[in-house]
Amino acid sequence: MRIILIGPPGSGKGTQAQKLMKVLEIPHISSGDMLREAVSQGTALGKLADNYMKQGALVPDNIVIEMIMERISRPDAKNGFLMDGFPRTLTQAQALDLAFEKTGVKLDHVLLFEAPDDEIIIRNAARRIDPLTGIIYNLRFDPPPKEILSRLVQRPDDDEKTLRVRLVKYHSETKPLIPYYSKQNLVYEIDAVGNLEEVQGRIFKALGIA
Ligand code: AMP
């Protein structure tokens, strides 16, 4: 199954993908995680992406498209994937469609995570990541065990100023993907306001998984 997750920053795409990938037995491909990994390893890609990411801007299409095309060509993605954070622009969506056409595969679903901007700002302020396991917690909605609290970190681009830039980008660059994929009858709207289990239940229902 090939699934794309679209939604504003911090709407729970990554958290839900971590659960869903185990159920569907397909890899979770997160463009943001791949770029952060490249930045932390100091690769050429990471050096190119770093400044854009710090400012909450989008990394240029050609760079991200090349990175994702290489990733989906790997054997583990042959039978499907959960794509989170890509595509984020119409150019990226068209590049993905072209790649699908060439390889004769098709997209099955687009899950659109919906949450109002006010809620997104509150959630992102409370988002924390465990650097040891990569697990994402939320101090308000999905609190971590007390014993690991002191080692949790906040993503640098989750500060309010940068987050607001990311939200503006979401509305201007990514939202046009909704009519693009709606025309292909692929979109399921998921109300992303609620606790982890509630949102997960809505996704399972949309996908017809028990
Ligand atoms: P995310 O973890 O998905 O919130 O992504 C973090 C940051 O990585 C974004 O704010 C962008 O700077 C960059 N990024 C991730 N995915 C993309 C993409 N598909 N296109 C452009 N920039 C991206």
Each residue's pLDDT tens digit, 149-206 = 999 999 889 999 999 999 999 999 999 999 999 999 999 999 999 988 999 999 999 9
Catalytic residues: 13, 88, 127, 155, 166
Q: Is residue 71 part of a domain?
A: no
Q: Is the CB of 91 under 6 A from ligand 1?
A: no
Whose CA is closest to 90, among 10, 9, 189, 179? 179
Q: Is the CB of 7 under 6 A from ligand 1?
A: no
**Whole-angstrom distance, CA of residue 168 vs CA of residue 153:** 24
Q: Which of 5, 55, 59, 66 to mutate to test the pocket of ligand 1 (most atoms within 8 A of CB)?
A: 59
Q: Is residue 37 part of a domain?
A: no
Q: Is residue 61 part of a domain?
A: no
Reported confidence tier of residue 142, pLDDT bands at 50, 70, 90: confident
Each residue's pLDDT tens digit, 5-60 = 999 999 999 989 999 999 999 999 999 999 999 999 999 999 999 999 999 999 99
Q: Is residue 172 part of a domain?
A: yes
Q: Dihedral (C-alpha) 182, 197, 10, 72: value to the nearest 10 degrees? A: -60
| CATH at residue 91 | 3.40.50.300
Per the CB < 8 A criterion, the answer to whether 81 and 3 are in contact is yes
Q: How many domains does the chain have?
A: 1
- What domain range is 178 assigned to? 2-29+79-201
Residue labelled with tokens 């509305």: 171
